[in-house]
Amino acid sequence: MSSATDLHPSPDLSDPPRVVLLEGIHPAAASLLRGQGFEVTEIRGALGPGALAEALRGAAILGLRSKTQVTAETLSECTDLLAIGAFCIGTNQVDLSAAAQRGIAVFNSPFSNTRSVAELTIAEIIALSRRLFDKSSGLHAGRWDKSAAHAHEIRGRTLGIVGYGHIGSQLSVLAEAMGMRVTFYDIAPKLPLGNAMALPSLQALLETADVVSLHVPATPLTEGMIGAAELAMMRPGSFLINNARGSVVDIGALAVALASGAIGGAAVDVFPEEPAANQGAFDCPLAGLSNAILTPHIGGSTEEAQENIARDVSSKLLRFMLNGSTTTSVNVPEVDLPLLRESQHRILHFHRNVPGVLGRMHTMLAARGVNINAEFLQSKAELSYVILDVDPVEGEAVKEGLRQIPETIRVRTLW
């Protein structure tokens, strides 16, 4: 995670950027941003379009979670906005292309809850192996059932991980520390951690694992990846865990396999259809099966993950604001910039990606006697982002000159 404190030798914050944080974002975000001199307004709930545009008047940064919709129309009203932080995983709530066309960089935090999902999975492996939920609900219902039958340690058992990415590989380390043997299957070549062993096919994994845990994204390839045929390949008494995406498992086929005892149990956190809001009605074929642990998409929902997200996204926003770097932005070209050297000025320029713009910029700067010491450029689709480190300049005049170039979308300076 990037540090927010070593970005710029002396950010000029005589006019502190205004930040609006919505939807009860973890206070670590406001604290980090205020620590760099930004003026932060925190609003607990989401805002509708009119109220949002109003709240963003004069604001350089918007922070939101999943409930606030940022449309092209709202963006057109927020002329001072430079960056949006989605303090969550998804970014569907923001019109990313409209933001890019205005040179507004959008950042999110795709991996801050990795550990939370891995830990939940470990808990579920143990809970299934000890029939914990069954025993607990039995006792709640007044049934004392002390027995070792069908209760197992996880030590020495084989965990098969499907998708060895951020979560899968983290789970691999935790599971091995608890004495499990780990195998995995991934479509991309992955370095096995510890003693984990890569398997050549999903079938090889399904046929040999005591616990199969899914950690793949929702893609056309993973849709219905585990159906009746795959469940039939699993070992009798084995467990299936889906903390990935609801589309990956045929939930009807899983209910049949659980009810018939073809597999021993399952833990499912994600469903093909999930209620849009808390307290929404929920029904699925797995409801009522005592060997299925069901959780309401809480794999990544911990206070630690929320704090990690707050720190991660704020750091990315600060790097963009104070240094110009767009690394990991989901919508604008990614440029990872060095620290600005003492006695240098930095020009940050978003423009339409067409021939001749750099030439016009150089000509304009040369005409003003501006000496360029370093230049960085990256393009993505129709947008280009160029950064020039120059000897000290009269910022407003240079910005005005660059705004005269018809392809210019946005220009900003740092010193």
Comparing C-alpha atoms, which of 396, 353, 359, 361 is closest to residue 100? 353
Q: Which of 54, 153, 274, 382 is catalytic?
A: 274
| Closer to ligand NAI by Cβ: residue 66 or 353 | 66
Comparing C-alpha atoms, which of 193, 145, 134 is closest to residue 166? 193
Nearest-approach distance from CB 215 to ligand NAI, in angstroms:
4
| Closer to ligand NAI by Cβ: residue 166 or 360 | 166
Q: Which of 65, 245, 345, 351 is catalytic?
A: 245
| Closer to ligand NAI by Cβ: residue 81 or 270 | 270
Task: Give the Cα separation of 77 and 274 in Å (integer).
Answer: 33
Task: Give the Cα separation of 337 and 324 in Å (integer).
Answer: 7
Task: Give the Cα separation of 106 and 311 in Å (integer).
Answer: 15
State the DSSP code for 247: G
CB 66 within 8 A of CB 93: yes
| Closer to ligand NAI by Cβ: residue 8 or 115 | 115
Nearest-approach distance from CB 153 to ligand NAI, in angstroms:
26
**Residues whose CB falls within 8 Å of the CB of residue 311, separated by 6 or more in sequence, listed in order:** 1, 28, 29, 32
Positions touching ligand NAI (CB under 6 A) are: 111, 113-114, 117, 162-168, 185-188, 215-219, 221-222, 243-245, 269-270, 297, 299-300
Task: Give the Cα separation of 375 and 390 in Å (integer).
Answer: 9
Nearest-approach distance from CB 240 to ligand NAI, in angstroms:
15
Comparing C-alpha atoms, which of 246, 172, 177 is closest to residue 211? 172
List beta partners, residue 384.
351, 379
Task: Give the three-class secondary structure for 112.
Answer: coil
Residue type, 365: L
CB 334 within 8 A of CB 100: no
DSSP alpha helix (H) spans, 209-263: 228-233, 251-259
Q: What is the CA radius of gyration of the chain?
A: 26
Is 274 among the catalytic positions?
A: yes
CB 132 within 8 A of CB 124: no
Is 351 among the catalytic positions?
A: no
Nearest-approach distance from CB 225 to ligand NAI, in angstroms:
6
| Closer to ligand NAI by Cβ: residue 204 or 259 | 204
| Closer to ligand NAI by Cβ: residue 68 or 222 | 222
| Closer to ligand NAI by Cβ: residue 67 or 166 | 166
* DSSP sequence for 267-314: EE---SS--SSTT-----TTTT-TTEEE-SS-TT--HHHHHHHHHHHH
Nearest-approach distance from CB 180 to ligand NAI, in angstroms:
18
Nearest residue to ligand NAI by CB is 165
Nearest-approach distance from CB 194 to ligand NAI, in angstroms:
17
Q: Which of 130, 297, 352, 362 is catalytic?
A: 297
Nearest-approach distance from CB 171 to ligand NAI, in angstroms:
9
Task: Please identify every residue annotated as catalytic.
Answer: 245, 274, 297
